Amino acid sequence: GNSVTQMEGPVTLSEEAFLTINCTYTATGYPSLFWYVQYPGEGLQLLLKATKADDKGSNKGFEATYRKETTSFHLEKGSVQVSDSAVYFCALISTGGFKTIFGAGTRLFVKA
Amino acid sequence: DGGITQSPKYLFRKEGQNVTLSCEQNLNHDAMYWYRQDPGQGLRLIYYSQIVNDFQKGDIAEGYSVSREKKESFPLTVTSAQKNPTAFYLCASSVQGGGQPQHFGDGTRLSIL
């Protein structure tokens, strides 16, 4: 079946450090891929998405590229801020599918 | 602004009691969902509805019930049959059709007295 695997957290970085959160997926066809962010006590917000191979989603300095050959969608940011501290979820919807499959989430702590 | 409103933000349940969590959306979305989130865990799908008057069980439906009488509303009832209801509950909605992202409410935290 379809699944999403993302790196375990927590990830702790200093402000202005480079961020990578790894995400790999298992799905048939060409799923749509998403990154969501959850701040403490809130629901999830869509951060970025990509719908086909080699697409790059980007938002608020975050980027992720849809890599079909490695079935990956790693999240990157060049310089993190304290305000980026949150839980990040990688997710997919399979081709023709309806339900979203979420990864377990990766908690990010950014220190000043 | 359009969005999803969940209420209450905090809810306490006594033993043997049913409680209902409210979810209202004004995004004109056809599809709505309920998830459960436990500390340090991902999201698990409880129920979902693709259209008014129709809904399907998700992965952990036991001990929960829903209704979808109006497009805007998708309330979740946590019944006394749910023996471990303490969790953070998230409601979401999306445009009908494949590959669409979900919009989430801010959640309801349910605890047992």
Q: Do A96 and B106 touch (CB under 8 A)?
A: no
Measured between beta carbons, which residues in chain B are less than 8 angstroms from residue A41?
A: 106-107
From the CA of B81, how many Å to the nearest CA of chain A?
Answer: 26
* pLDDT of res. B16: 86
In chain B, the N- to C-terminal Cα span, in Å, equals 35
* pLDDT of res. B112: 87
Q: Is A59 on the interface with B (CB under 8 A)?
A: no
* pLDDT of res. A38: 95
pLDDT digit string, tens, across residues B74-111: 999 999 988 899 999 999 999 876 678 889 999 999 99
pLDDT digit string, tens, across residues B14-65: 888 999 999 999 999 999 999 999 987 789 999 999 999 999 999 999 999 9
CB B2 within 8 A of CB B99: no
Beta strands in chain B (DSSP E): 4-7, 10-13, 19-25, 31-37, 43-51, 54-57, 64-66, 76-78, 87-94, 103-104, 108-112
Which amino acid would we find at residue B84?
N
Q: Do A99 and B99 touch (CB under 8 A)?
A: no
Q: Is B27 on the interface with A (CB under 8 A)?
A: no
Nearest CA in chain A to B102: A46
pLDDT digit string, tens, across residues A39-90: 988 999 999 999 999 999 999 999 999 999 999 999 999 999 999 999 999 9
pLDDT digit string, tens, across residues A85-111: 999 999 999 877 778 999 999 999 999
**DSSP code at position B73:** B
* pLDDT of res. B101: 86
From the CA of B54, how many Å to the nearest CA of chain A?
Answer: 15
Measured between beta carbons, which residues in chain A are less than 8 angstroms from residue B99?
A: 31-32, 51, 93
Residue with tokens 């006394």: B80
Q: Do B101 and A34 touch (CB under 8 A)?
A: yes
